[in-house]
Structure 1
Amino acid sequence: MSETLHAADWFALHGKMPRLYVPAEFSVGAILTLPEGPARHVTRVLRMGVGAPLVLFDGHGQEAGVCLAEVGRKHTTVAIEAIWQGSGESPLAVHLGQAISKGDRMDYAIQKAVELGVAAITPLYTERGDVRLKGDREEKKLAHWQAVAASACEQSGRAVVPPVYPPKTLDNWLAERHEPLRLMLHLATGNAFDRQDNPASVALLIGPEGGLSDVDINAAVAGGFTPLTLGPRVLRTETAPVVALTLLQHHFGDV
């Protein structure tokens, strides 16, 4: 095998197989020791043996076709046989500012946003948001959310894991926005998709369960954000990004 082998060639040889996120450097011919999580999944969940094919991706766009070389209690290794560039990324870079919600609602929003090609996610503290994370709790949540994003990439075929940035206040996030198209979900009028140009990047703001406050809305408008309505029905905070991202990808991306 060689590093010029394409994904289609690899899958033609081996058929459909599991994809795993392994943040490592890939080199054809190298033997790579799998991290504990992927190793456990391969050996204990999938019960794969020596010689079984897998696809790994490094989170930065590169994929590798590998075969299990050694399966042991202490470590599991793979032999890298081919490397190629992933092809699952959208031409539209959407930075999602998502108000933090309770329970698994935030997990759902992140998971589906990644499946729909989002480029980056920032959890937000808004005026009506009722979740406030501090210290170790915030660090643990951030690591969990990043793992949710990586898992969504495994499922959806993406080779780039979008970053989930540390939570910040809405004002701080707004101050950093320079995307040519900036939208916030709000019950308003107008059609943000009626444009002559196709923006290369978009900032999308989704509020909490109680919606964005007047203070939040005014700050977003002052920051160049346009209100976007998704119809007469009020969507949940975890449903709104799914619908909005689908529309954005349809009009300006690759859906």
Structure 2
Amino acid sequence: MPQPPRTPLRRVSQSSLFATSASDPDAHTDVAFLDAAISELADETERLQVNVEGIKHLSDSLATFNESFASWLYVMKINSLTTDWPQAPTEASLEMAKRRAERDAIAATEAMQQAKAAAAAREAEMTKTMEQTDIDITYAGLTTTATSVTSNKPAGKKKPGKPKLTAKEKKERSIEIEKVISCLPLEFRGSDPNLRRNMESVIDGLLNARTVKLTDLISPPDLPQARVNKCLIALVNRKVVQKNSSTGTVLYHWQGI
């Protein structure tokens, strides 16, 4: 059987360390410079091994922390799924709180409306009583006044007209009327436009004469006696006008705000 081919051995280099050491035992002094390099290489290799061991220790520590932290998170999740919290609000309690707040708001609104209705009823009753009393006094005064006027007043005599005002005086008069109306109840401030116009006419007449009788302000059909009387009662209640019947005739004196 033929032998397999073999690779021929390489001839040893004449400059190799082995050849040098074999031919000359004292030749190791020529390679003495390698001692320092090998020693330094050994130190660096040892330092590299220490660093690698430190990295491995750090990796082990991180692995341990990750495992512990993951376990803690898992336990917290399981605890939240299995533990009951009876004091925590639920959807039912939140819904009950919402309905309770709505009921309280409705009750408060109803109480406010009832209070407003009661106040309006008291004011209406007071106004009705004052109107009835004022009508009785005014009727008695008008009866006496009508007799004296009929006997003394010449036929065909008309009431004096309104004094003419300049543009500045008209503006000041409008501001003063608006200031008085803003102090009156809501029905005179615009709730009833006709009543507001009647009040403006009554105030304008009072500002012109300063002291008037009820008959001086009546101007049918736009300003009947009932409307004039109602406006005067509101002004007297706000102390804008002073009512005086000491002379037997009911007179209204303008006081202002």
Scaled by the length of structure 1, the TM-score of the pair is 0.22
Larger Rg: 2
Scaled by the length of structure 2, the TM-score of the pair is 0.22
Greater RCO, 1 or 2 (C-alpha within 8 Å, sep 6+): 1
Say which structure is richer in helix. 2
